[in-house]
C-alpha cells in the first residue's frame, strides 16, 4: 500500500520535470497558489531555474516571498536567506505577481504613443471596466506574460497559477473569445456605428445600409445614446491594442497544447470540490489538452490501524467514576477521536470516488491537512515532503 502511494506521488515530480510549463487549475479556495508555489520551490531546490506566476496571490504569501508590490515583473526569491537552505547547484526561484489592470495599462502605453490619445483611453469608462472586470481579461493577461517568459532562456520551468474558474477551458478559451470580440466585433462596431447615426459620413451610411442604422436606433432606445457613442470611442481608440492581442492568443494556445506543457488540477476532498474537479477533467480530456493529474489538498490522512467503532473508551483509557468529571473527559476524548477517524474516512471515500471516475491515467497526490495555514517559505518547504 505504502509503495503504491509512493509511486503515485513520484508521478507529480515526473510531471513537473518533464515539462517546461505547468498550468495549475482549480476552483476558488482549494489552494492553487500555495500548491503552485510549493511545486516551484521544490523544483528550484532540486536545481531548476523556476518561475512561478500567480494572479492576485494571498498577500501574506507575497509578503513572505518578499515580492509584495512588485507587479508584473519577475523577482528572484532569496531561498537560502529565507529558508536557511540553498537550492541545488543551478537552482533558483523567481516569482511574478500578475495584475490585470496594470497589464492593460502597460499595453496601452506600449502600443499607443500619442500621450493625448493615451489619456483618452485611460479616461474612457469602458476601458476602465474592461481592464478591471472584462471576462477573459485576467486570463488573457496571464497568457500574454506566459508567452513572453516562455521564450526567455532564463527559466527551465514555469509554474502558472491560473485564476479560479469553474471550467479549465475558460482559461484557454476566454482570451481568444475576448480578443475576437474586441478585435473583430470592435471593428464592425465602429463601422456600423459610424455608418449609422454617429457619423456625418453619408457615404458610410449608404454603404452599411439603413437596416443597421435602424438596429442601432433600437439599441439606443434601450440603453440611451451615450452607451453606443462611448463604446464606439472605446473600440476606436483601443483598436490597435486588439490587433496586437490577436496574434499572441493563438501562439499561447499552441504552446499550451504542445508537449512542453501540462495541466494539473488542485481540489479539496469534499463532494462539491471533487465534482467540480471531475467536470474540469472531463472538459480537458474532450479538448485533448495535456493533463497529468490531481493534487488533492488538505486531506485528513487515512488512519489504518485505528480502533473499530465497536470498542469502548474504557478499553483504552481507565474509568474513574469516583473522580468528578474524569469519565466525562474520557468520553469527550473518545468522541473526538472517533470524529477524527470518521473525517479521514469521509475524505478517503470522496477521493476513491474520483479515482473510480477518472481511472488509472492521471495521478492522484494527496497533501495532508497541516496545522495552521501556509503563508511562508518554511511552510511551503514542509509541504514539499508530500511530493516525494
Partner 1 sequence: MSPTPLLDQRVVVVLGKGGVGKSVVSAALGMRAVAAGKRAIVAECGGAESMATLFDRPGVGYSGAELSPGLHALSITPDQAVEEYLIRMLKFRLLYEVVFRNRYVEPFMNGVLGLSDLISIGKVMDLEWSRADGTHGPDPQGPPQYDLVILDSPSTGHGLSLLRAPQTIMDITRVGPLHNNARMIRDLLADRTRVSVLLVTLAEEMPINETIELHAELAEKVDIEIAGVVVNGVPPKIFAQDDAAQHWEELQRLAEELGPQAQRVIADGQRGLRDRERAEHHIARLRESIDLPVAELPLLARRDLDPQSLLDLGEHLRWLK
Shortest Å distance, C-beta 385 to partner 1: 19
Shortest Å distance, C-beta 77 to partner 1: 20
Could you tell me if 309 and 345 are in contact, meaning their C-beta atoms sit under 8 angstroms apart?
no
Shortest Å distance, C-beta 381 to partner 1: 19
Instruction: Report the interface residues with partner 1, using CB under 8 A.
Output: 27-30, 58, 60, 125-126, 129-130, 133-136, 164, 166, 178, 181, 184-185, 188-189, 192, 215, 218-219, 221-224, 226-227, 230-231, 234, 268, 271-273, 275, 306-307, 313, 316-318, 323-326, 328-330, 332-334, 336-337, 339-340, 342-343, 345-346, 349, 371-373, 375
Report the residue number, 86 or 227, with the smaller CB distance to partner 1: 227
Report the residue number, 257 or 337, with the smaller CB distance to partner 1: 337
Report the residue number, 63 or 156, with the smaller CB distance to partner 1: 63
List CB contacts of 205: < 8 A, sequence separation 6 or more: 195, 196, 199, 213
Whose CA is closest to 327, among 315, 338, 317, 336? 317
Phi, psi of 114 (to 5 degrees): -65, 115
Report the residue number, 231 or 295, with the smaller CB distance to partner 1: 231
21 pairs with which residues across the strands? 158, 261
Report the residue number, 155 or 234, with the smaller CB distance to partner 1: 234
The CA-atom distances, in angstroms, between 178 and each of 55, 118, 159, 187, 296 are 18, 21, 24, 14, 31
Could you tell me if 65 and 77 are in contact, meaning their C-beta atoms sit under 8 angstroms apart?
yes
Could you tell me if 63 and 71 are in contact, meaning their C-beta atoms sit under 8 angstroms apart?
no
Shortest Å distance, C-beta 32 to partner 1: 10
List CB contacts of 231: < 8 A, sequence separation 6 or more: 126, 189, 193
Report the residue number, 122 or 343, with the smaller CB distance to partner 1: 343
Shortest Å distance, C-beta 33 to partner 1: 10
365 pairs with which residues across the strands? 295
Report the residue number, 131 or 150, with the smaller CB distance to partner 1: 131
Shortest Å distance, C-beta 379 to partner 1: 12
> Can you point out the beta strands (E) in the chain?
21-25, 49-55, 75-77, 92-98, 157-161, 261-267, 291-299, 363-368
Shortest Å distance, C-beta 276 to partner 1: 8
Shortest Å distance, C-beta 329 to partner 1: 4
364 pairs with which residues across the strands? 294
List CB contacts of 96: < 8 A, sequence separation 6 or more: 51, 52, 53, 54, 72, 73, 74, 75, 145, 149
Report the residue number, 259 or 371, with the smaller CB distance to partner 1: 371
C-alpha cell of residue 326: 474524569
Amino acid at each position: 500500500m505504502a509503495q503504491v502511494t509512493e509511486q503515485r506521488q513520484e508521478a507529480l515530480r515526473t510531471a513537473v520535470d518533464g515539462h517546461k510549463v505547468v498550468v495549475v487549475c482549480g476552483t476558488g479556495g482549494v489552494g492553487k497558489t500555495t500548491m503552485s508555489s510549493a511545486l516551484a520551490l521544490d523544483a528550484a531546490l532540486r536545481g531548476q531555474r523556476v518561475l512561478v506566476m500567480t494572479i492576485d496571490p494571498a498577500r501574506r504569501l507575497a509578503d513572505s516571498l518578499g515580492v509584495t508590490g512588485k507587479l508584473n515583473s519577475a523577482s528572484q526569491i532569496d531561498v537560502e536567506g529565507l529558508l536557511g537552505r540553498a537550492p541545488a547547484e543551478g537552482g533558483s526561484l523567481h516569482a511574478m505577481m500578475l495584475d490585470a489592470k496594470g497589464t492593460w495599462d502597460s499595453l496601452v502605453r506600449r502600443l499607443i504613443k500619442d500621450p493625448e490619445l493615451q489619456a483618452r483611453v485611460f479616461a474612457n469608462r469602458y476601458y476602465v471596466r474592461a481592464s478591471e472586470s472584462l471576462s477573459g481579461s485576467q486570463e488573457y493577461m496571464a497568457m500574454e506574460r506566459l508567452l513572453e517568459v516562455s521564450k526567455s532562456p532564463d527559466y527551465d520551468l514555469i509554474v502558472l497559477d491560473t485564476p479560479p474558474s469553474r471550467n479549465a477551458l475558460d482559461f484557454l478559451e476566454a482570451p481568444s473569445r475576448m480578443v475576437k470580440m474586441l478585435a473583430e466585433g470592435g471593428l464592425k462596431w465602429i463601422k456600423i456605428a459610424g455608418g449609422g447615426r454617429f457619423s456625418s459620413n453619408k457615404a458610410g451610411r449608404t454603404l452599411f445600409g439603413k437596416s443597421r442604422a435602424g438596429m442601432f436606433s433600437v439599441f439606443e432606445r434601450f440603453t440611451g445614446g451615450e452607451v453606443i457613442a462611448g463604446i464606439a470611442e472605446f473600440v476606436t481608440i483601443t483598436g490597435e491594442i486588439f490587433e496586437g492581442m490577436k496574434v499572441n492568443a493563438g501562439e499561447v494556445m499552441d504552446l499550451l497544447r504542445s508537449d512542453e506543457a501540462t495541466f494539473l488540477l488542485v481540489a479539496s476532498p469534499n463532494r462539491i470540490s471533487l465534482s467540480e474537479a471531475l467536470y474540469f477533467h472531463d472538459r480537458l480530456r474532450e479538448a485533448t489538452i495535456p493533463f497529468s493529474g490531481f493534487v488533492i489538498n488538505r486531506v485528513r490522512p487515512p488512519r489504518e490501524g485505528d480502533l473499530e467503532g465497536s470498542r469502548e473508551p474504557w478499553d483504552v483509557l481507565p474509568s474513574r467514576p469516583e473522580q468528578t468529571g474524569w469519565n466525562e473527559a474520557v468520553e469527550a476524548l473518545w468522541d473526538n477521536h472517533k470524529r477524527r477517524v470518521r473525517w479521514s474516512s469521509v475524505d478517503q471515500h470522496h477521493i476513491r470516488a474520483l479515482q473510480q471516475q477518472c481511472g488509472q491515467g492521471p495521478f492522484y497526490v494527496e497533501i495532508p491537512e497541516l496545522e495552521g495555514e501556509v503563508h511562508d517559505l518554511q511552510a511551503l518547504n514542509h509541504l514539499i515532503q508530500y511530493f516525494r
